[in-house]
A and B are shown apart, each in its own frame.
Chain A
Amino acid sequence: MLVSEIDMITPSSLSECLTQLSKEGRKHRLIAGGTDAVVRMKEGKWRPEIWINIKNLKELRYIEESKDFIHIGPLATHTDITHSPLLQRKADVLVDAAGEVGATQMQKMGTIGGNIGTASPAGDTLPALYVLGALLELTSLKNKRIVPIQEFIIGPGRTVLKENEMITKILIKPQRQNEKGIFQKLGPRKAQSISIVNVAISLTMDQDRKCVEGKIAFGSVAPTIIRARKCESMLTLGPLNDELIQNIAKIAWKEVMPISDGRATAAYRRDMASALLERGLYRLIRRWENQ
């Protein structure tokens, strides 16, 4: 299929889009921000017969709060997320992460639904969504189901999304008053880079540097994002002093399972996972104490 032969349909509503997705006997694909999709089209990896263009489908671009959840439309861009006062107050780790995606252009074009659907092991918003316990609403013409993000992504670029389904909502649990998060990323340069390692941390804090509950998720160190359960269990052992933080960082070195690739060696990734977690914990505690 040549690029010049690819057709495009622009549905004007979600229901029209789902109807298009349900059509069989042809190859079609959704395209929103295009920051991954167009690159893959140029590389020849994605050559559908029809692009279903949802870039301007306004009903899927929102950020709002209900009683128990924050609802994010899949077409919310990374800029929408970093500029949202609601998320700044109640999902700081996601705001941090969205601000580390590419640079200005990519943040204005790229959508959170796209970042999830691409399911890259290095996707920057993903570790943040893991620690926020994100649930994804997947909708087809006849069905709707809710899948936790860690069950949605099953491998590099692989998800449980069916051909006739699309992500129609992202639900996250708002952070409590005493909950603070941080996202740390190591890339080859400061702006516009793919993560060599990234980590999202969210801690529920008590008096005297004590942590009541904590979640840690690493990216780029395994086929999917991973929660560092051993490190998490150590967070509540006592006040987060230098000794405990450094011990947790050492455990992270063992807990990640990186490979060597064009961006870094496995050994370097292990060292950096440990260093990023240590730095992140220190910065997070400083943030908590200075608020």
Chain B
Amino acid sequence: MKSIHFIVNGKERTVVCPPAKTLLDVLREDLGLTASKECCGKGECGSCSVLINKEVVCSCLVLAGQAENQVITTCEGVGLSPNLDVIQESFIAEGATQCGYCTPGIIVSAKAFLDEIDTVPSVDEIKTALGGNLCRCTGYTKIIKAVQTAATKKISKPETIG
């Protein structure tokens, strides 16, 4: 067991756990942040996506010891009701979620993608950015629409983005 310190969603957190425990399990079990989901457990589905230092990664393949002292953002950190991020509002407005299992991972990936760009992305650019996130319900059309809507809102009102 090791005492491991991170900054999660802006808060300093310390957990005591085996260093080879995955970051995903630490987030869910030790910190009670259950937005990030385990699905494939091998980096193929993106349900566990979180940001480490603003880069989107699969938390199921990061060991807790490797994330020590890093800045981690989960879907809860992107926004929680009533302070939702523009990307989350767009997902609701476009109905871009069905069972919801993949949604937190997609929100996190989309957040990282939108933070990197300052134009409204094309469908192909969105597909590339979200290529690592699988959804088995909606067929992606609404998800892509939601990302475009969020990008449009973000560009027209940049001051609203936190």
Interface residues of A (CB under 8 A from B): 3-8, 10, 31, 33-35, 38-39, 41-42, 51, 53, 55-56, 79, 102-106, 108-109, 190-192
Q: Which of B27-35, B62-70, B82-90 participates in binding chain A?
A: B62-70
Distance to closest chain B CB from A163 (angstroms):
20
Q: Which of B49-57, B142-150, B152-160 participates in binding chain A?
A: B49-57
B74 contacts the other chain (CB 8 A): no
Instruction: Say which residue of A31, A103, A104, A106 sits within 8 Å of B63 (CB atoms).
Output: A31
Which residue, B18, B61, B112, has most C-beta atoms of chain A within 10 A?
Answer: B61
Instruction: Say which residue of A4, A7, A34, A105 sits within 8 Å of B132 (CB atoms).
Output: A105
Distance to closest chain B CB from A5 (angstroms):
7
Cβ contacts under 8 Å, B16 to chain A: none
With contacts A3-B21, A6-B19, A51-B20 taken as known, whether A35 is within 8 angstroms of B132 at the C-beta atoms is no
Q: Which of B5-13, B38-46, B91-99 participates in binding chain A?
A: B38-46
Please state if B43 and A41 are interface contacts (CB–CB under 8 Å): no
Cβ contacts under 8 Å, B129 to chain A: 104
With contacts A6-B18, A39-B43, A42-B42 taken as known, whether A105 is within 8 angstroms of B56 at the C-beta atoms is yes
B114 contacts the other chain (CB 8 A): no
In the bound complex, what is the Cα–Cα distance between A3 and B1 (angstroms)? 11
Instruction: Say which residue of A3, A5, A31, A109 sits within 8 Å of B58 (CB atoms).
Output: A109
Cβ contacts under 8 Å, B132 to chain A: 102-106, 191-192
Distance to closest chain A CB from B45 (angstroms):
9
Please state if B56 and A53 are interface contacts (CB–CB under 8 Å): no
In the bound complex, what is the Cα–Cα distance between A129 and B21 (angstroms)? 34
Please state if B62 and A8 are interface contacts (CB–CB under 8 Å): no
Cβ contacts under 8 Å, A41 to chain B: 20
How many contacts A-B (CB < 8 Å)? 99
B73 contacts the other chain (CB 8 A): no
Cβ contacts under 8 Å, A4 to chain B: 18, 20-21
- State the 7 A-B residue pairs at the shortest beta-carbon distance, nearest first: A191-B131, A103-B132, A103-B131, A8-B19, A8-B65, A6-B20, A4-B18
In the bound complex, what is the Cα–Cα distance between A104 and B49 (angstroms)? 10
Distance to closest chain B CB from A232 (angstroms):
32
With contacts A7-B19, A102-B43, A104-B109 taken as known, whether A34 is within 8 angstroms of B131 at the C-beta atoms is no
Which residue, B46, B49, B62, B131, has most C-beta atoms of chain A within 10 A?
Answer: B131
Cβ contacts under 8 Å, A55 to chain B: 66
Closest residue of B by beta carbon distance from A189:
B131
Please state if B62 and A109 are interface contacts (CB–CB under 8 Å): yes
Could you list 14 examples of A-B contacts with CB < 8 Å?
A5-B18, A10-B66, A38-B60, A41-B20, A42-B42, A51-B65, A103-B132, A103-B133, A104-B112, A104-B129, A108-B56, A190-B127, A191-B131, A192-B131
Please state if A105 and B63 are interface contacts (CB–CB under 8 Å): no
Instruction: Say which residue of B18, B22, B41, B44 sits within 8 Å of A192 (CB atoms).
Output: B44
Closest residue of B by beta carbon distance from A99:
B128
With contacts A51-B20, A105-B46, A191-B127 taken as known, whether A39 is within 8 angstroms of B61 at the C-beta atoms is yes
Instruction: Say which residue of B18, B22, B131 sits within 8 Å of A38 (CB atoms).
Output: B22
Which residue, A3, A34, A51, has most C-beta atoms of chain B within 10 A?
Answer: A34
Cβ contacts under 8 Å, A53 to chain B: 63, 65-66
Cβ contacts under 8 Å, B133 to chain A: 103
Please state if B2 and A34 are interface contacts (CB–CB under 8 Å): no
Cβ contacts under 8 Å, B20 to chain A: 3-4, 6-8, 41, 51
